[in-house]
Structure formats: C-alpha cells, structure tokens
Amino acid sequence: MRQKLLEVCEEHDRLSALMATQEVASDPKIYRKHAQAQAEIAGIVERFKLFQRDEEQLAGADTMLKEETDPELRDLALEEKEQLAAALEGHLQALRLLLIPKDPNDSKNTIVEIRAGTGGDEAALFVADLYRAYTRFVESKGWKIEVLSSSETGIGGLKEIFFKVSGDNVYSQLKFEGGAHRVQRVPATETQGRVHTSAVTVAVLPEAEDVEVNIDDNDLQIDVYRSSGPGGQSVNTTDSAVRITHKPSGLMVTCQDEKSQHKNKAKAMQILRARLYDRVRSEEAAKRSADRKSQVGTGDRSERIRTYNFPQNRLTDHRIGLTLYRLEQVMEGELQQLIDALIAADRAAQLSEA
C-alpha cells in the first residue's frame, strides 16, 4: 500500500511538471486533461502527507519514551503516542477508501429509462410519479434534465420515459437506481380501497461519446413516420417521428417528442449510443466475473431493488436492507439519504473485497 501511495505522489508531481511546460500550458484541451487527472489524485496525496507527518511525530514520541526519565514528560509522550496512533489508523482507513478504483463513468452525464411493468394503468401512473421524484432531486442538485422520449397514457401516466441528466458526477449518484421498483398502494381507479401491487423498471446508462461507441451508418435502419399520442391518434401532420434500428445488435429506439425529425433523430442516437455502450460494459463485466462482489446491484431490470409501500409510508431497499418511513418525502425528491447509503454500502463492500 505504501508503494502504491508513493507512486501516486510521483504521478502527482509528474503532472505538475507537465502542466508547467509551455507545450501543455498553451493547449487548453491537454492542460484541462492533465489538471483533471491531477485533481482526481490530489486527495490521496494530501491525506498521505498527513499520514507521513503523523508517522514522523509518532516516531519522535517513541524516542522520547525510550530516552526520557521524567515521569511527567513520559506521560505527555505516552498521551501523544496514543493520539497519533489513532490518527494514523484514521488516515489508513481514509487512504484505503481513496485507493479504491473509481468507476470511470462516475463523472458522466446519464440517460435514465423508466418503463411501466406489471400493473397496467397503475404502473404507468407510478412511472410518472417516479419521474417527478427524480426531476425534483435533479433540480435540488442544480443539474439539468432533458426529456429525450416519452409515451403517455390517457389518464396522466407514462408507458415509458427516457431522459438525460447533465451535471457534475451525475452517474455516481444515480447508477444504483437501475432495476425493478415495486409499488404497493391503492390506485386512483380502485373503488373498493384495495391495495394493488405493480412494478416499473429503471435503467441508468452513462452517456457515451462518439469515441467510445463506433456506429457504422450502414448498420442503421432509420424509419420515419407520424407521431401519435394516447389512443394512437396522430399528433403531427408531418413524418417527424424517428425509429432507429441497429441491425447487428437488434436494438431499436424511437423518438417522437419533437416536431423536428432532425431533433428526434439526434435524441434517438443519444439513447442508442448509451445502450450500446452499456451492452459493451456489461459484456466486459461478465468476462471478469459473474457479478462484481462489491457491487450493490447489477442494474439488471429484472432485479427487484426497492419496494414503495404507500399505506405504511415505507420505502425498503432490498439490496442493503434499508427501510425508511418517509416515503412521502422521497417521492418529493428527497433521495439523498437513500443514495448516500447505497454509495457507502458499495464502498464498504469494495473495501472488504480489497
């Protein structure tokens, strides 16, 4: 571990020297790349320097205990040694966490897909409710949200919605939302007051850049048609809706929210690129292991991750065994406590595995 920390410090110094050269300083793109890389390890370097400082002071306290004969000074040295030993243990724990490899996608913007599952109209209504909760959470973080595609029902629900979230470290905060979300409540359409159970699925995809996913235009089949609303009625008089099929993978994406065919095509390509990137990531992860032991959740849509019980105002995340009796607040966008718990559980599992 010490050797690894020394290597990180050397890399930090190397980047500092590079950024001071005229060649790098005159190129904003390269300079920004090096500055970002340095910023990612700055916390490790700072903590390791504190560790080295306290380590030296501990050695000094040990020397005093060996050489000092005055009882009062020996007591002071012993007290200092105990404090420094505790501080060193704290530094080590922090450094272990800092050395856990970061997910390279954590800083990326994110595309979220929410789809109605079992439960008919009630599931579609919960898609709309969950989207509203995510929207309020995004707004509280100062991020930007953009709807890429949606399909409404006639009663205010959503069969599905795809949206993009842009901001700082978005994926790191939202990546554990992927999976099946089960809801238990009395539907608005229920006249007998019976509790129904329905489900929606969520997929969280890091936005892929062109350099990460190479899509050959010859592999795409692009169809255009008139967009339609609830019940199938036409809502546009021009062929603005776009359906893109990626023939090698069989993936298909449709977008019809915009009146412009060009805009719908651009949004559909964003979704397709993210899905293809996610597929490549999943295949690589499968090669390394069946499932990363340290991962809180696989993100698989079939994995039931959470239950929302409205009669009891209870939310339960099944992956970490967390139950909160504040479902009303969560549905108003107060998701941070839940997200922090998931991140902490994932880090603890990775630390244990390491």
Residue-wise pLDDT for 158-174, tens only, equals 999 999 999 999 999 99
Among 25, 190, 69, 58, CA closest to 120: 190
According to the model, what pLDDT value does residue 296 have? Answer: 54
> How remote is the C-alpha of 232 from its chain's centroid?
35
Question: What torsion do the CA atoms of 73, 77, 83, 88 make, to the nearest 10 degrees?
Answer: 160
Structure letter (DSSP) for residue 207: P
CA distance 150 to 163: 8
Residues of the chain with CATH 3.30.70.1660: 110-349
Beta bridge partners of 111: 164, 205
According to the model, what pLDDT value does residue 229 have? Answer: 60
Average pLDDT over residues 15-37: 92
Question: What pLDDT digit, counting tens, does each position of 268-324 carry?
Answer: 888 898 888 888 777 766 654 544 444 455 445 567 899 999 999 999 999 999 999
CA 288 vs CA 103, 104, 285, 291: distances in Å: 15, 16, 5, 8
According to the model, what pLDDT value does residue 131 have? Answer: 97
According to the model, what pLDDT value does residue 25 have? Answer: 92
Burial of residue 3, with CB atoms counted within 10 A of its CB: 0-12 exposed, 13-18 middle, 19 or more buried: exposed
Burial 155-173 (b: 16+ CB within 10 A, else e): eebbbbbbbbbeeeebbbb
According to the model, what pLDDT value does residue 241 have? Answer: 87
> How remote is the C-alpha of 203 from its chain's centroid?
11
Asked if the 110-349 domain carries CATH number 3.30.70.1660, the reply is yes
Beta bridge partners of 206: 110
Average pLDDT over residues 28-41: 90
According to the model, what pLDDT value does residue 193 have? Answer: 80
Burial 111-149 (b: 16+ CB within 10 A, else e): bbbbbbbebebbbbbbbbbbbebbeebbeebebebeebb
End-to-end CA distance of the chain: 11
Band (105; pLDDT cuts 50, 70, 90): confident
Among 286, 229, 281, 219, CA closest to 251: 219
CA distance 167 to 169: 6
Question: Of 65-74, 162-171, 223-232, 341-350, where does mean pLDDT reach its minimum?
Answer: 223-232
Q: Do residues 114 and 127 make contact, with C-beta atoms less than 8 angstroms apart?
A: yes
Among residues of the chain, what percentage have pLDDT more than 70? 89
Burial of residue 183, with CB atoms counted within 10 A of its CB: 0-12 exposed, 13-18 middle, 19 or more buried: buried
According to the model, what pLDDT value does residue 198 have? Answer: 93
Average pLDDT over residues 120-133: 94
Four-residue CA torsion sign, 58, 85, 45, 100:
positive
Among 240, 248, 239, CA closest to 221: 248
Four-residue CA torsion sign, 223, 224, 227, 228:
negative
Q: Which residues contact 220 (CB under 8 A, 6 or more apart)?
A: 244, 245, 246, 247
Among 85, 61, 83, 86, CA closest to 74: 61
